[in-house]
Amino acid sequence: MARYCLLGHVDPAKLDEYRARHAAVWPELLVALRDAGWRNYSLFLRPDGLLIGYCEADDLDEAQQRVAATEINAKWQAEMARLFASEGAPDEAWERIEEVFNLEDQLEAAGR
């Protein structure tokens, strides 16, 4: 399963609301993400609004398309859009960051 690092930008003036909303994500959305193929998904937020996402998926493009096709995701994205510093749906504004090191992969390659 591939690992993905994603960058986004939350409006610094709306960090408290962003945190509050993500402390209680709608259960239907959680299930939609899982069923679409998102695994081990975490978000990390810096005080200046830099948002770092980490997830695993067999194919993130496919997983994104599958969750994007759900009504619950469309509602969530519409509500979240006003909290972001970027234009459009937040789930379409992710910047992917290349992985250059993984401890477990290198330990396995070294036979450890």
One-letter-per-residue 3-state SS of the chain: CEEEEEEEEECHHHHHHHHHHHCCCCHHHHHHHHHHCCEEEEEEECCCCEEEEEEEECCHHHHHHHHHCCHHHHHHHHHHHCCECCCCCHHHCCEEECCCCCHHHHHHHCCC
Q: Which residue in the list 22, 34, 46, 96 is annotated as catalytic?
A: 22
Active site residue 22: yes
Q: Catalytic residue positions?
A: 22
